[in-house]
A and B are shown apart, each in its own frame.
Chain A
Amino acid sequence: MKKFAKISQIDDNLLFFVTIALVLIGLLFVYSASCYTAELETGNKFYYLIKQSTGALLGIVAMVTASLFDVNILKKFHLPLAILSALLLGLVFIPGVGISKYGATRWIGFGGFSFQPSEICKFALVLVGAHSLTQENAKPFFKYAKVLLFGLTYCVLIILEPNMSVTVCVGLLMVALLFLGGMKIKTFLLILLPFVVVLPLMIVLEPYRMLRLMAFLDPWASPKNEGYQLIQSLYALGSGGLFGVGIFQGRQKYRFLPFAESDFVFSVIGEETGLLGCLTLFLLFGLYVYCGVKIALNAKDKFSCILAGGITSVVAIQSLINFAVVTGSIPPTGLPLPFISYGGTSLVVFMTATGVLLSISRANKKQGFGIS
């Protein structure tokens, strides 16, 4: 038992360092990807770096603070947080509060500050899941109903923005939570069925999604329009080769690659550090998932277990979707890469969630519990 605690200790530090490493890599490449456009647009090539650094500092404070609290406090907040998330998602549609960019209304803003409520709702859903799925006395129907209720509400609100990628992300998270919660496989598949039907339908019904889908299959069919983004991403990755063209030496960020510092920062990493750099990043995300799962497995109760598993799932789902998009493995859709992509809210929220993981890990050490 003592030996096990020691391993857990290592994991604990490891998760912290993996997170810090990811954030630092993020800062480096947010700067590299944005310095040219930042200089042109604002006259200050450090513009994005400074904003992202601010997010990172706030994130560290939030992460450490979260790691010091007992996660059980969160149980009480699950409902208010879930409802607040839904309200914030609704606020997006109120003119004057919601901010539209690139043909979608995804942001709410006050003062000079803006953020995407969808960043928060993912973790709100995890909390709802962790709480309701551990209500052993409740009837199975009610156990899952809450997760489904909030999950689907979020999905509907997000798809209305519209934001396909985050919808898929939240949908997958919901499925993962139901799966982790112990839902019978038969029931699980039955619930999954509508998604399998609805998703293709949504794609076919929205012309721009259909075009994007076609673009993913053959981007060179419309190199100036739908296929453009993917082609530019492939150019970046392809130019990288095995070792990359060198940090700061990439050419695609010179306005060729759209959203180079946010959704497509991985393209820049691939161009400048090559396949080896990408592999390193994959390993770091792999380590993060490994640590997260390990913490979940060692959790002292099922609430902590599902909470840890849920948080880890968010990171895994979102990073996988981002990698898949950037490599042209699935239709292109805008989703930031956790810890790496430019975006203050996203960074702070993910680091806070990591703090929660660390808190669970800390609790595990005090009271050895779990399977080995």
Chain B
Amino acid sequence: MQENSYYVTKKRMVALMLASVFLFFLIFCRLFYIQILWGKNLQTKASDQWTRDLNLSAMRGDIVDKNGEILATSCTVFNVYARPNAVVDKESTAKVLAEALSLDYQSVVQKVNKKGVSEVLIARKVPTLLANELKEKDLDGIYFAEESLRQYPLGDFLTQVLGYVSVDGVGQTGIEAYYDKYLQGIDGRLLTQTDLVGKELDGVQYYLPSQKGLTIKLTVDSKIQMMVENVLDLAMYQYSPKKAECIVLDVTNGSVLAMSSKPSFDLNNIPRDDLESLTDYSKNVLVTDIYEPGSTFKIVTAAACLEESLNGGGFDENYVFKNNSRTRVVDGTKINCWSTHANGKHANQKLSDALNNSCNPIFTDIALNLGKETFYRYLEAFGFGSKTNLDFQGEQSGILIDKSMVKNADLARIGFGQSVTVTPLQLCMATASSVNGGILYQPRLVESIVDNVTGVTLTNPVVVKNRTISEVTSQKLATMLEGVVTNGSGKQAYIEGYKIGGKTGTAQKFENGALAQGKYVSSFIGFFPVNSPKYLVLMLVDEPVGQNYGSVVAAPYAKMVIQGIIDLYDVAPVE
């Protein structure tokens, strides 16, 4: 009996042992699954909690002018953080911080005692010098995160073109917005090994430095720009217009040398709380707004007329327009010349005379003579009705009445710059093409993007869009436009010893679909040297008070700009 029960015990003991071995094996299988098959995944999740990840924001790239002068740059400032759990002596730490950063002691004490947060911001944008002083004090649990602060050394300068950035350093308008991805740079990281509550562990850090953004090199020449801005300020002062605007273009490649509109503001002191003026003043109206160009548009009509004369249409430079009346009636609408045509004025004009006199009836004749098909072919070739594709945000394309809808009365008005709206830049590009030998360029504000670390440069190439007119026609037209400045309405822009071409314009403004009484845009578009055009200047004075003729208001300012360029670059007078 005893032997038998003892035998049962031993048998069962072996069974228990085998059972436990089996269980050990099962758990080992589970362990194999966790450590080998699931391991990588678990480790990735685990590593998230082992480190505190501090973002090191990249320094934003510079914007420089064509000569390398810095227009927008970033300096390093520091955001000061505390990790409350790691701050050992809360009171004395708070005291040091409050004193150094001129903060309220009580609020700093509250911050370093804050529960349930891993980090708390103590101060923003602390200058490097001050931050370094604090760093030397080696306070436990206080951390410094680099950040770049945007600065514009020239202040109220090239405001609308440069644009500005948000508080977080993201480009909002202008070049800052358009080239934001290049300017941004690549953020760095500081990974710190910590324990559960964020206490730093010794010696184990991973530092990935941030990479500064690329440098954007503009085509803008800040010397010319500076002068343009001064001239515009003068215009603002003398005529109290709504706006005064100017573009200076290199007609040989479509590069924008200066682009400004007033009023503007200091980019270092953005009126963020006055949204209306901020929106109005930061708009680059030369690109984003449209207007009826008026007489300056006659250059285009003249170009089409001359070029077409080579094909047997239009009128050549020797043709004498017979109709000396100051009035034309097209489809029942009357079109008058600004002049009375009395006492032989505006009589027996050639094309050059018509330009000099800015005689509307002649350009009506030309437009109607060319006809819808031909004239529109030229208008489209000059880029009207479509964007210039400037590297800038919010460009408008202007309004060219749809060809299928256009009536003769419209066509006639387009001939002298009405019933058509353009952006000032569009007019510049078309005029440049009229006088530079017939090439329509795509305008550009950026010359290249430069990586200062590697020296790699990405060039924004000069783009030829199409040919508008022949070289011969272009030369003829340039000479005619020289006459406008020498003898015609553009006399106010004449400079002794220099060959300058140009055309004035006085356009009536439309408001809410009706002509606005007494509101004009006075303009002058000029270029020089006539024999080999290089610079083009468009001067616009929007709603000047007192005077309104482009010849009186705008031409003198354009002359100042041209004179300035001559002085800056010692352009030699023609013998």
Q: Which residues of A contact B (CB under 8 A)?
A: 36, 136, 176, 179-182, 234-242, 251-252, 254-256, 270, 274-275, 278-279, 282, 285-286, 289-290, 293, 296-297, 302, 305-306, 309, 313, 316, 320, 323-324, 327-329, 371
Asked whether any CB of chain A lies closer than 8 Å to the CB of B16, the reply is yes
Partner of B20, one of A180, A256, A320, A329: A320
Beta-carbon contact of B30 and A329 below 8 Å? yes
Partner of A239, one of B21, B32, B39: B39
CB-based nearest B residue for A278: B31
Name the distance in Å between B203's Cβ and chain A's nearest Cβ.
Answer: 13
Stretch at the interface among B7-15, B63-71, B249-257: B7-15
Partner of A237, one of B9, B35, B41, B197: B35
Name the distance in Å between B195's Cβ and chain A's nearest Cβ.
Answer: 4
Write out the residue numbers on chain B whose beta carbons fall within 8 Å of the beta carbon of A282.
Answer: 24, 27-28
Beta-carbon contact of B31 and A293 below 8 Å? no
* Other A-B pairs, 15, CB within 8 Å; known A238-B35, A254-B50: A237-B39, A238-B39, A238-B41, A242-B35, A251-B46, A254-B196, A274-B35, A285-B24, A289-B20, A289-B21, A290-B17, A302-B6, A305-B9, A309-B16, A328-B34
Q: Which of B447-495 contact A (CB under 8 A)?
A: none
Beta-carbon contact of B46 and A238 below 8 Å? yes
Beta-carbon contact of A297 and B13 below 8 Å? yes
Name the distance in Å between B389's Cβ and chain A's nearest Cβ.
Answer: 52
Beta-carbon contact of B28 and A305 below 8 Å? no
Asked whether any CB of chain A lies closer than 8 Å to the CB of B1, the reply is yes
- Quick one: given A176-B16, A181-B9, A254-B196, are A327 and B42 in contact (CB under 8 Å)? no
Asked whether any CB of chain A lies closer than 8 Å to the CB of B36, the reply is yes
Contact flags B176-208 to A (C-beta < 8 A → 1, else 0): 000000000000000001111100010000000
Beta-carbon contact of A275 and B24 below 8 Å? no
Q: Which 5 A-B pairs have the closest CB atoms?
A: A238-B42, A235-B46, A255-B196, A254-B195, A238-B39
Write out the residue numbers on chain A whose beta carbons fall within 8 Å of the beta carbon of B194.
Answer: 254
Q: In the bound complex, what is the Cα–Cα distance between A254 and B51 (angstroms)?
A: 12
Asked whether any CB of chain A lies closer than 8 Å to the CB of B43, the reply is yes
CB-based nearest B residue for A179: B12
Write out the residue numbers on chain A whose beta carbons fall within 8 Å of the beta carbon of B45.
Answer: 235
20 interchain pairs, CB-CB under 8 A: A234-B38, A235-B43, A235-B49, A237-B42, A238-B35, A238-B40, A239-B43, A256-B50, A275-B32, A282-B27, A286-B21, A289-B17, A296-B13, A297-B13, A302-B5, A306-B9, A316-B16, A320-B23, A323-B27, A328-B34
Q: In the bound complex, what is the Cα–Cα distance between A213 and B303 (angstroms)?
A: 88
Name the distance in Å between B194's Cβ and chain A's nearest Cβ.
Answer: 8
- Quick one: given A275-B31, A289-B21, are A136 and B16 in contact (CB under 8 Å)? no
Asked whether any CB of chain A lies closer than 8 Å to the CB of B333, the reply is no
Beta-carbon contact of B35 and A320 below 8 Å? no
Number of residues on chain B facing chain A (CB within 8 A): 41
- Quick one: given A238-B35, A239-B43, A255-B197, are A327 and B12 in contact (CB under 8 Å)? no
Name the distance in Å between B75's Cβ and chain A's nearest Cβ.
Answer: 38
Write out the residue numbers on chain A whose beta carbons fall within 8 Å of the beta carbon of B49.
Answer: 235, 256
Give the interface centre of A182, A270, A285, A286 by most chain B CB atoms within 10 Å: A182
Partner of A241, one of B20, B35, B50, B195: B35
Asked whether any CB of chain A lies closer than 8 Å to the CB of B512, the reply is no
Name the distance in Å between B447's Cβ and chain A's nearest Cβ.
Answer: 52
Write out the residue numbers on chain B whose beta carbons fall within 8 Å of the beta carbon of A316.
Answer: 16, 20
Asked whether any CB of chain A lies closer than 8 Å to the CB of B269, the reply is no
Partner of A182, one of B8, B16, B31, B40: B8
Partner of B35, one of A179, A270, A324, A328: A270
Beta-carbon contact of A136 and B12 below 8 Å? no
Name the distance in Å between A92's Cβ and chain B's nearest Cβ.
Answer: 30
Q: In the bound complex, what is the Cα–Cα distance between A328 and B16 (angstroms)?
A: 23
Beta-carbon contact of B13 and A275 below 8 Å? no
Write out the residue numbers on chain B whose beta carbons fall within 8 Å of the beta carbon of A290.
Answer: 17
Name the distance in Å between B339's Cβ and chain A's nearest Cβ.
Answer: 86
Partner of A327, one of B2, B8, B27: B27
Give the interface centre of A240, A251, A296, A309 by most chain B CB atoms within 10 Å: A251
Secondary structure of the A contact surface, majority rule:
helix
Write out the residue numbers on chain B whose beta carbons fall within 8 Å of the beta carbon of A237.
Answer: 31, 34-35, 39, 42
Name the distance in Å between A64's Cβ and chain B's nearest Cβ.
Answer: 26
Beta-carbon contact of A242 and B36 below 8 Å? yes
Q: In the bound complex, what is the Cα–Cα distance between A235 and B45 (angstroms)?
A: 7
Q: In the bound complex, what is the Cα–Cα distance between A237 and B41 (angstroms)?
A: 11
Write out the residue numbers on chain A whose beta carbons fall within 8 Å of the beta carbon of B12.
Answer: 179-180, 182
Name the distance in Å between A340's Cβ and chain B's nearest Cβ.
Answer: 15
Q: In the bound complex, what is the Cα–Cα distance between A306 and B6 (angstroms)?
A: 10
Q: In the bound complex, what is the Cα–Cα distance between A282 and B373 (angstroms)?
A: 94
Q: In the bound complex, what is the Cα–Cα distance between A122 and B41 (angstroms)?
A: 40
CB-based nearest B residue for A308: B13
Write out the residue numbers on chain B whose beta carbons fall within 8 Å of the beta carbon of A371.
Answer: 10
Beta-carbon contact of A252 and B16 below 8 Å? no
CB-based nearest B residue for A285: B24
CB-based nearest A residue for B23: A320
Beta-carbon contact of A327 and B30 below 8 Å? yes
Write out the residue numbers on chain A whose beta carbons fall within 8 Å of the beta carbon of B27.
Answer: 282, 320, 323-324, 327, 329
Write out the residue numbers on chain A whose beta carbons fall within 8 Å of the beta carbon of B28.
Answer: 278-279, 282
Beta-carbon contact of B16 and A327 below 8 Å? no
Q: In the bound complex, what is the Cα–Cα distance between A306 and B46 (angstroms)?
A: 46
Write out the residue numbers on chain B whose beta carbons fall within 8 Å of the beta carbon of A235.
Answer: 42-43, 45-46, 49
Partner of A238, one of B23, B43, B193: B43
Partner of B14, one of A176, A274, A293, A323: A293
Write out the residue numbers on chain A whose beta carbons fall within 8 Å of the beta carbon of B38.
Answer: 234, 238
Q: In the bound complex, what is the Cα–Cα distance between A107 and B34 (angstroms)?
A: 34
Q: In the bound complex, what is the Cα–Cα distance between A157 and B2 (angstroms)?
A: 35
Beta-carbon contact of A320 and B24 below 8 Å? yes
Q: In the bound complex, what is the Cα–Cα distance between A256 and B196 (angstroms)?
A: 5
Q: In the bound complex, what is the Cα–Cα distance between A239 and B8 (angstroms)?
A: 46
Partner of B46, one of A136, A176, A252: A252
Name the distance in Å between A78's Cβ and chain B's nearest Cβ.
Answer: 18
Write out the residue numbers on chain B whose beta carbons fall within 8 Å of the beta carbon of A313.
Answer: 16
Name the distance in Å between A24's Cβ and chain B's nearest Cβ.
Answer: 21
Q: In the bound complex, what is the Cα–Cα distance between A236 and B27 (angstroms)?
A: 16
CB-based nearest B residue for A234: B42
Q: In the bound complex, what is the Cα–Cα distance between A295 and B276 (angstroms)?
A: 94
- Quick one: given A238-B39, A320-B23, are A256 and B195 in contact (CB under 8 Å)? yes
Write out the residue numbers on chain A whose beta carbons fall within 8 Å of the beta carbon of B20.
Answer: 289, 316, 320
Beta-carbon contact of A305 and B16 below 8 Å? no
Write out the residue numbers on chain B whose beta carbons fall within 8 Å of the beta carbon of A180.
Answer: 9, 12-13, 16
Q: In the bound complex, what is the Cα–Cα distance between A143 and B42 (angstroms)?
A: 51
Name the distance in Å between B167's Cβ and chain A's nearest Cβ.
Answer: 33
Q: In the bound complex, what is the Cα–Cα distance between A313 and B23 (angstroms)?
A: 13
Write out the residue numbers on chain B whose beta carbons fall within 8 Å of the beta carbon of A306.
Answer: 9
CB-based nearest B residue for A252: B46
Q: In the bound complex, what is the Cα–Cα distance between A323 and B27 (angstroms)?
A: 7
